[in-house]
Structure 1
Amino acid sequence: MELDKPEVFLKKLSGAVDQLVDDKWWIDRDTIRAKLEAENTH
């Protein structure tokens, strides 16, 4: 599962969660993803 590689594991986890919620998020996931990407570029 490559648990020691967050860049791989988190993408897989995100895909699994997407399937579970069937695109009916109660939060704005795109805003959160954008914020995380901005923080990781610094």
Structure 2
Amino acid sequence: MLRTIMLGSCVSVQGIVVGQLADGKIVVKVDEKTFVGYPVAPLRAA
């Protein structure tokens, strides 16, 4: 599944979900690299 995570206040990464950590962070893989961050909530259209 493709997910977007926040690495900092202005940096986000989108990649394939590899795993989820106990503190709520998600691990995603982009090409050969893996990134850990908090998931971005999906936008709900009204």
Q: Same fold (TM over 0.5)?
A: no
So what's the TM-score if we normalise by structure 1? 0.19
So what's the TM-score if we normalise by structure 2? 0.19
Greater helix proportion: 1
Greater strand proportion: 2
